[in-house]
Amino acid sequence: MDFSSARKSMVEYQLRARGIQSEVVLQVIEKIPRHLFVPEKLQEYAYEDHPLSIGCGQTISQPYMVAIMTELLELKTSDRVLEVGTGSGYQTAVLAEIAQHVVSIERIKELAEKAEQRLMNLGYTNIKIVCGDGSLGYPPEAPYDAIIVTAGSPEVPESLKKQLNEGGRLIIPVGGSNLQVLLKIIKKGNDYRIEKHTSCIFVPLIGSEGWKNYGDN
Ligand code: SAM
């Protein structure tokens, strides 16, 4: 399979044609070999417009959702970013291509370890992978210029808001377990401006400031 032309088509027809405007985001997505972030038997579907299973009951997000969330973050090359929900590490790679430093936190050890290995093999040196409850953020490296949560939360975790730098942006899907709205929260002094964006469906953010006691997963 010609992954490079599949990637080009994905960028043109699934992303640019549907309104993604940031050239930086489009270029980065065209560069990263997304098929290396999914199980081998699913590689042929890596450039289609839907999430894919990555094991442990989790998913790699739909490419359009990765693009829209990254665009909303308005990243600068000097930014320090926190990602909650490493999963496959694909979104982590997208962030690391644009920003200066990325901390990504994942609650499932097996996924965190696999993603770390994958990102190391691809040569990323500006990423730190942590295993833990990201609903509490990651205080040792706070504050962050941007925080992205790639799992759905019943509400906006206070800990994440507190770990934003002045002018910092937090992108998070908030709502019920079956449907959420993508929120963008911008810290301005002691205030937080909230914008509502598209509807979305994410796996749950499981943790102290997310969904508590969500099965035993
Ligand atoms: N960004 C990922 C990617 O590019 O593959 C997709 C992430 S997947 C949709 C959501 C991930 O969030 C899952 O791997 C899940 O285990 C993780 N997660 C859920 N609750 C979490 C928490 N409290 N802290 C850290 N990770 C969490």
pLDDT the model gives residue 1:
86
Indicate whether residue 98 lines ligand 1 (CB < 6 A).
no
DSSP assignment of 85-108 equals --TTSHHHHHHHHHSSEEEEEES-
Q: Is the CB of residue 134 less than 8 Å from the CB of residue 149?
A: yes
Please name the amino acid found at residue 193: R
Whether residue 160 lies inside any domain: the answer is: yes
* Domain-embedded: residue 166: yes
The residue annotated as part of the active site, out of 5, 53, 61, 177, is 61
Q: Which of 152, 164, 162 is nearest to 207 (CA)?
A: 152
Mutate to test the pocket of ligand 1, among 107, 156, 177, 216 (most ligand atoms within 8 A of CB): 107
For residue 10, report the distance from its CA to the centre of ligand 1, in Å: 23
CA distances (Å), origin 35, targets 103, 112, 157, 159: 22, 18, 32, 34
Q: Would you call 61 a catalytic residue per the annotation?
A: yes
Instruction: Verify whether ligand 1 is closer than 6 Å to residue 205 (CB atom).
Output: yes
Separation between Cα atoms, residue 19 and residue 3, nearest integer Å: 23
Q: Quick one: which of 97, 79, 80, 76 has its CA closest to 30?
A: 97
Q: Could you tell me the distance, in angstroms and rounded to a whole number, from the CA of residue 148 to the centre of ligand 1?
A: 11
Distance 192 CA to ligand 1 centre (A): 24
Number of neighbours of residue 75 by Cβ within 10 angstroms: 25
The alpha carbon of 86 and the centre of ligand 1 are apart by a number of angstroms equal to 5
Asked, for residue 140, whether it belongs to a domain, the answer is: yes
Q: What is the pTM of this model?
A: 0.97
Q: 3-class DSSP state for residue 74?
A: coil
Identify the CA nearest to 157 among candidates 141, 145, 140, 171.
Answer: 171
Rounded distance between C-alpha atoms, residue 4 and residue 215, angstroms: 40
From CA 163, how far away is CA 33, in angstroms rounded? 31
**Which residue, by CA, sits nearest to atom 27 of ligand 1?**
85
Going by alpha carbons, the residue nearest to atom 14 of ligand 1 is 87
- Cα-flanking dihedrals φ and ψ of residue 59, to 5°? -135, 155
Domain-located, residue 30: no
Which pLDDT score, from 0 to 100, does residue 198 have?
A: 96
4 falls within a domain: no
Residue 33 forms part of a structural domain? no
Q: For residue 21, is it within any domain?
A: no
Query: CA 74 to CA 166: how far, in whole Å?
Result: 14
Domain of 159, CATH number, reads 3.40.50.150
What is the token pair recorded at 21? 């405007």
**Could you give the number of structural domains in the chain?**
1
Q: Are 84 and 204 in contact (CB under 8 A)?
A: no
Contacts of 174 (CB under 8 A, 6+ apart): 152, 153, 154, 155, 156, 180, 181, 183
Cα separation of 105 and 181, whole Å? 22
Instruction: For ligand 1, say whether the CB of 59 is within 6 Å of any of its atoms.
Output: yes
CA geometry: angle 51, 135, 212, nearest 5 deg: 90
Splitting the chain (217 residues) into consecutive groups of 10 residues, what average pLDDT does each group show? 96 97 98 98 96 96 97 98 98 98 98 98 98 98 98 98 98 97 97 98 97 70
Ligand 1 and 22: CB distance under 6 A: no
User: Is residue 42 in a domain?
Assistant: no
By residue range, what is the domain housing residue 201? Answer: 50-216
How far is it, in rounded angstroms, from Cα 132 to Cα 85? 10
